[in-house]
């Protein structure tokens, strides 16, 4: 990572009285301007996990000592498997045992799971307290920063219990990515790459030119990639905060991706890896429906591969593929609705014949 | 109860895109107009409890069959002690086991506990589904219909985990009160009487003239009492949806009342009974601070007694009284802030010297 200190980028998220800003840059933790104007309160609770706490917990706590009289920390067990009520309740226990009032500010220091749980805890504690996100993975910086989706899992379904609840601010400190495993960096790039084909051809050009810089954690390149991703997501979410329609285009690659995750067992592939491969399949299906040229499929596949993501689909068997995609929540009345490309820079939702879906998958599956 | 069929009263609750109506009247369950315009969906879930289910569960299910393809029911165990995560999760289990989607409508058929839990479940299920309230107690009709407060208890505090979430409609069917135990009717009257002294002298006059009709479950009298209570609460809440300030006046009598409930052990007195006695003490304290005449204390005390509510404070001992009131959530920095009357029809929040508080309690405590 370079040591350049660029001024942080700011992405305003306009949601009326729930508006907030995403700040993106290097060294935000120690930058006074990044913290100015956040809610003041006697108490603060840092919610993190056992992996991130030893890396950045002390630095954040020290920073917050200047803003709050009392700074508590709860380190949750790491991993999606712990995104449940029992673990969520550890946040409530910590707050109530310390007698924290309804002005307490929660700080989410971690990846998507920590962000989802902290946000939902903030939504529910005393019917709502403010929270600030400090995402420590590239995926969380681009994906969880915008949209206000918080949730926990239920044994019968992922993200089934949650709330739409907006943070007071999101601080994407790019320095925190220096400890991120390479595989998780690639997984984050999948969600960044997504924004090119669905919304911004120029961003796709830029990504192709800048991918090596991103993989080398160049601050200027990361900063632009995170900012542009957040801007596009904010534009989409701003028009459809509660996910009635347009917001579904953000799920480009996800219908195939969720089937991969479920079919191989959660955790075998990272979410971003499954989405990377899923985007290849969704592009292929778009081409076979005559919506895009084959050249765009090849172009996306090459970029996704360069990002260190899988582009070969796992061999699940077509019946299993279709079955898994039908239970995905976007299937209504048993009909799978895919997010497809309709030319470069435009996404559309539509069903597709099973035979074409099978062909698309087969075209990117290694011979057995 | 008379068999008159008056047209239902309507109280509009104006909260922008979360606006809804409270309908108050007799026979609402079978009145088509009461159901028109409610969200249509394939699935509906009635949430009720084991006491109410045998009385009204089948009638509501039958009514809903005409509106939904599938009508499920979950009957929770009755009582505040069950207002916890384990019981809440039975609602989520029922929804997920049946594969209910994010358009499912929840119907709360019961008192305050059922309303609080159903509302919170609706707020969280798939990040928010619509719900309709059918309160079956007088207390719930006047108190839970307005305000959007939903919650469950945590072992370390009541209503600590919840959400502000508005119903799609509230149907206060006065016929449902015919099975209400007399003691619970009185408890509901406490919250109705409250609105006179804090906001509406004419309503206090009317209550004094109409109390016998209310106790006899006269539909016209009940209808006016519920409507006026909801109107006043709506006016207050509309100015302070998230309880920043003004809304606190709705807690007239509650600081003393909560101390009674906690001091005697929850369940010894009903909440409304404790509030009834608490209003006498709060009025007494107001008089001793020179804010109201003694005649108003006597007047309120007489009405509260006529309503079948206790007006003698339990003998907790002054140290215990003060201790209990300090842990009440309205105490900030250890100072108890009381909701007091400042003339008839106006409430104010202020602290009071411990000695005066002790005198006020002593004045309404039976000699040992």
Q: What is the 3-state secondary structure (H, E, C) of A22-33?
A: EEEECCHHHCHH
Q: In this complex, do A89 and B89 lie within 8 Å of one another by their Cβ atoms?
A: no
In a domain, A130, yes or no: yes
Q: Is there a single domain that holds both residue A157 and residue A277?
A: no
List B184, B191, B231, B261, catalytic entry: B191
Q: Is there a single domain that holds both residue A349 and residue A212?
A: yes
pLDDT band at residue B82 under the 50/70/90 scheme = very high
pLDDT band at residue B333 under the 50/70/90 scheme = low
Q: Minimum mean pLDDT among B11-15, B103-107, B236-240, B254-258: which range?
A: B236-240
Q: Where are the alpha helices (DSSP H) in chain B?
A: 32-35, 58-65, 85-97, 112-124, 138-143, 182-199, 201-215, 219-238, 254-264, 271-288, 294-306, 318-327, 354-363
Quote the CA–CA distance of A117 and A89 in Å, as a whole number: 10
The whole-number pLDDT of residue B1 equals 43
Q: Is A113 annotated as a binding residue?
A: yes
Q: In this complex, do A92 and B160 lie within 8 Å of one another by their Cβ atoms?
A: yes
- pLDDT above 90: residue B246: no
**What number of C-beta contacts closer than 8 Å exist between A and B?**
61
Tokens 């119903």 map to which residue? B167
pLDDT tens for residues A322-343? 999 987 654 556 678 999 999 9
Q: In this complex, do B127 and A163 lie within 8 Å of one another by their Cβ atoms?
A: yes
Through-space distance between the first and last CA atoms of chain A, rounded to whole angstroms: 41
Looking at the complex, report in whole angstroms how far the Cα of residue B1 sits from the nearest Cα belonging to chain A: 38
Q: Is there a single domain that holds both residue B272 and residue B338?
A: yes
B97 contacts chain A (CB < 8 A): yes
In a domain, B321, yes or no: yes
φ, ψ for residue B26, nearest 5 deg: -100, 140
The tokens for A163 are 């709330």
The helix (run of H) or strand (run of E) holding residue B75 is strand B70-76
Q: Is there a single domain that holds both residue B141 and residue B221?
A: no
The tokens for A198 are 């669905």
Looking at the complex, report in whole angstroms how far the Cα of residue A130 sits from the nearest Cα belonging to chain B: 13
In a domain, A188, yes or no: no
Quote the CA–CA distance of A235 and A14 in Å, as a whole number: 9
The whole-number pLDDT of residue A240 equals 73
Nearest Cβ partner of B127 from A85, A127, A164? A164
Q: Is there a single domain that holds both residue B90 and residue B232?
A: no
Nearest Cβ partner of B123 from A85, A163, A329? A163
Q: Specify the CATH number for the domain of residue A299.
A: 1.20.1090.10
Sign of CA dihedral B63, B64, B67, B68: negative
SS3 sequence of chain A: CCCCCCCCEEEEECCHHHCEEEEEECCHHHCHHHHCCCCCCCEEEEEEECCCHHHHHHHHHHHHHCCCCEEEEEEECCCHHHCCHHHHHHHHHHHHHCCCCCCCEEEEEECHHHHHHHHHHHHHECCCCCEEEEECCHHHHHHCCCCCEEEEEECCEEEEEEEECCCCEEEEEHHHHHHCCHHHHHHHHHHHHHHHHHHCHHHHHHHHHHHHHHHCCCHHHHHHHHHHHHHHHHHHHHCCCCCCCHHHHHHCCHHHHHHHHHHHCCCCCCHHHHHHHHHHHHHHHHHHCCCCCHHHHHHHHHHHHHCCCCCCECCCCHHHHHHHHHHCCCCECCECCEEEECCCCCEEEECCCHHHHHHHHHHCECCC
- What value does the CA radius of gyration of chain B take, rounded to a whole number of Å? 20
The whole-number pLDDT of residue A330 equals 46
B125 contacts chain A (CB < 8 A): yes
Q: Is there a single domain that holds both residue B170 and residue B211?
A: no
CB A64 within 8 A of CB A107: yes
Q: In this complex, do A160 and B125 lie within 8 Å of one another by their Cβ atoms?
A: yes
Q: In what order do the strands lie in the sheet with B105-110?
A: B9-13, B20-25, B169-173, B131-135, B105-110, B43-49, B70-76
- pLDDT above 80: residue B245: no
Q: Is there a single domain that holds both residue B118 and residue B226?
A: no
Q: Which residue of A has its CA nearest to B150?
A: A127
The whole-number pLDDT of residue A329 equals 54
Looking at the complex, report in whole angstroms how far the Cα of residue A233 sits from the nearest Cα belonging to chain B: 19
Q: In this complex, do B125 and A161 lie within 8 Å of one another by their Cβ atoms?
A: yes
Domain-terminating residue out of A179, A206, A226? A179
- Give the three-class secondary structure for B336: coil
Binding-face residues of A in 325-344 toward B, CB within 8 A: 329
The tokens for A349 are 């939702």
In a domain, B245, yes or no: yes
A206 contacts chain B (CB < 8 A): no
Q: In this complex, do A124 and B157 lie within 8 Å of one another by their Cβ atoms?
A: no
Average pLDDT value for chain B: 93
B237 contacts chain A (CB < 8 A): no
Active site residue A208: no
Q: Is there a single domain that holds both residue B172 and residue B132?
A: yes
* Closest C-alpha among A9, A44, A4 to residue A231: A9
Active site residue B68: no
The whole-number pLDDT of residue B71 equals 98
- Give the three-class secondary structure for B39: coil
Q: Is there a single domain that holds both residue B49 and residue B136?
A: yes
* Closest C-alpha among A90, A36, A92 to residue A67: A36
In a domain, A184, yes or no: no
A98 contacts chain B (CB < 8 A): no
B317: left (phi over 0), alpha (psi -120 to 50) or beta: left
CB B201 within 8 A of CB B232: no
| Residue B126 burial class via C-beta count within 10 angstroms: exposed 0-12, middle 13-18, buried 19 and up | buried
Quote the CA–CA distance of A118 and A106 in Å, as a whole number: 7
Tell me which chain A residues have a C-beta less than 8 angstroms from the C-beta of B160: 92, 96, 125-126
* Closest C-alpha among B155, B85, B146 to residue B121: B85
List A191, A231, A261, A284, catalytic entry: A191
Q: Is there a single domain that holds both residue B37 and residue B91?
A: yes
Quote the CA–CA distance of A340 and A334 in Å, as a whole number: 18
Domain-terminating residue out of A157, A179, A201? A179
The whole-number pLDDT of residue B29 equals 92
Q: How far is CA B161 from CA A210, A353, B7, B127, B177, in A?
A: 46, 46, 38, 15, 29
Quote the CA–CA distance of B237 and B248 in Å, as a whole number: 10
φ, ψ for residue A135, nearest 5 deg: -70, 135
pLDDT tens for residues B98-120? 999 999 999 999 999 999 999 99
Q: In this complex, do A89 and B93 lie within 8 Å of one another by their Cβ atoms?
A: no
Q: Which residue of B has its CA nearest to A164?
A: B127
Q: Is there a single domain that holds both residue A139 and residue A253?
A: no
Q: What does each of the 368 residues of chain A score in pLDDT, given as a tens digit?
A: 444 567 899 999 988 889 999 999 999 999 999 999 999 899 999 999 999 999 999 999 999 999 999 999 999 999 989 999 999 999 999 999 999 999 999 999 999 999 999 999 999 999 999 999 999 999 999 988 888 999 999 999 889 999 999 999 999 999 999 999 999 999 999 999 999 999 999 999 999 999 999 999 999 999 999 999 999 999 998 887 666 678 889 999 999 999 999 999 888 999 999 999 999 999 999 999 999 999 999 999 999 999 999 999 999 999 999 999 987 654 556 678 999 999 999 999 999 999 999 999 999 998 87
Q: Is there a single domain that holds both residue B175 and residue B237?
A: no
B94 contacts chain A (CB < 8 A): no
Nearest Cβ partner of A124 from B101, B156, B162? B162
Maximum alpha-carbon separation in chain A:
63
Q: Is B115 annotated as a binding residue?
A: yes
CB B127 within 8 A of CB A162: yes
What's the structural domain count of chain A?
2
List B63, B68, B149, B194, catalytic entry: B149
Nearest Cβ partner of A161 from B124, B149, B154? B124
Nearest Cβ partner of A92 from B97, B161, B329? B161
Domain containing A104 equals 9-179
Quote the CA–CA distance of B43 and B48 in Å, as a whole number: 16
Domain-terminating residue out of B179, B209, B235? B179
The whole-number pLDDT of residue B3 equals 45
Residue B32: how many CB atoms within 10 A of its CB? 7
B161 contacts chain A (CB < 8 A): yes
Active site residue B350: no
Sign of CA dihedral B317, B321, B324, B326: negative
Sign of CA dihedral B221, B224, B228, B230: positive
In a domain, A4, yes or no: no
Binding-face residues of A in 22-61 toward B, CB within 8 A: none
Q: In this complex, do A97 and B156 lie within 8 Å of one another by their Cβ atoms?
A: yes
CB A300 within 8 A of CB A216: no
Active site residue A332: no
Active site residue B243: yes
Tell me which chain A residues have a C-beta less than 8 angstroms from the C-beta of B150: 127
Q: Which residue of B has its CA nearest to A151?
A: B127
In a domain, A152, yes or no: yes
Give the ipTM of the model, two decimals please.
Answer: 0.91
Residues forming beta bridges with residue A349, ordered by sequence position? A339
Nearest Cβ partner of B92 from A125, A150, A154? A154
List A224, A254, A299, A337, catalytic entry: A254
In a domain, B352, yes or no: yes
pLDDT band at residue B2 under the 50/70/90 scheme = very low
CB A110 within 8 A of CB A119: no
Q: Specify the CATH number for the domain of residue B104.
A: 3.40.50.1970
CB A347 within 8 A of CB A252: yes
* Closest C-alpha among B207, B220, B228, B230 to residue B133: B230
């Amino acid at each position: 990572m370079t040591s350049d200190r660029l001024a942080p980028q700011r992405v305003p998220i306009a949601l009326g009285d729930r508006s907030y800003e995403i700040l993106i840059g290097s060294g935000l933790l120690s930058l006074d301007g990044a913290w100015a104007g956040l809610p003041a309160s006697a108490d603060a609770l840092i919610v993190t996990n056992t992996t991130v706490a030893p890396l950045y917990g002390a630095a954040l706590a020290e920073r917050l000592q200047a803003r709050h009289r009392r700074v508590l920390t709860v380190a949750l067990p790491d991993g999606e498997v712990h995104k449940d009520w029992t673990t969520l309740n550890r946040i409530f226990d910590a707050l109530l045992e310390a007698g924290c009032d309804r002005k307490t500010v929660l700080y989410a220091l971690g990846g998507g799971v920590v962000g989802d749980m902290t946000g939902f805890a903030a939504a529910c504690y005393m019917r709502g307290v403010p929270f600030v996100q400090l995402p420590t993975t590239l995926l969380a910086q681009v994906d969880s920063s915008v949209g206000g989706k918080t949730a926990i899992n239920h044994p019968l379904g992922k993200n089934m219990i949650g709330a739409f609840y907006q943070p007071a601010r999101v601080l994407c400190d790019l320095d925190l990515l220096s400890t991120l495993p390479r595989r998780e960096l690639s997984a984050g790039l999948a969600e960044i790459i997504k924004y090119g084909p669905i919304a911004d051809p120029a961003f796709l050009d830029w990504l192709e030119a800048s991918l090596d810089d991103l993989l080398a954690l160049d601050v200027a390149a990361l900063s632009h990639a995170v900012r542009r991703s957040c801007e596009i997501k904010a534009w989409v979410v701003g028009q459809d905060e509660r996910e009635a329609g347009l917001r579904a285009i953000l799920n480009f690659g996800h219908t195939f991706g969720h089937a991969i995750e479920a079919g191989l067992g959660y955790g075998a592939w990272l979410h971003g890896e499954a989405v990377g491969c899923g985007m290849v399949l969704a592009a292929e299906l778009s081409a076979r429906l005559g919506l895009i040229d084959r050249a765009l499929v090849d172009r996306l596949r090459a970029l996704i591969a360069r990002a260190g993501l899988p582009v070969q689909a796992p061999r699940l068997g077509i019946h299993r593929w279709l079955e898994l995609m039908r239970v995905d929540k976007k299937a209504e009345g048993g009909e799978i609705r895919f997010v497809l490309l309709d030319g470069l820079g435009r996404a559309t939702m539509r069903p597709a014949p099973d035979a074409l879906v099978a062909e698309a998958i087969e075209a990117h599956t290694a011979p057995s």
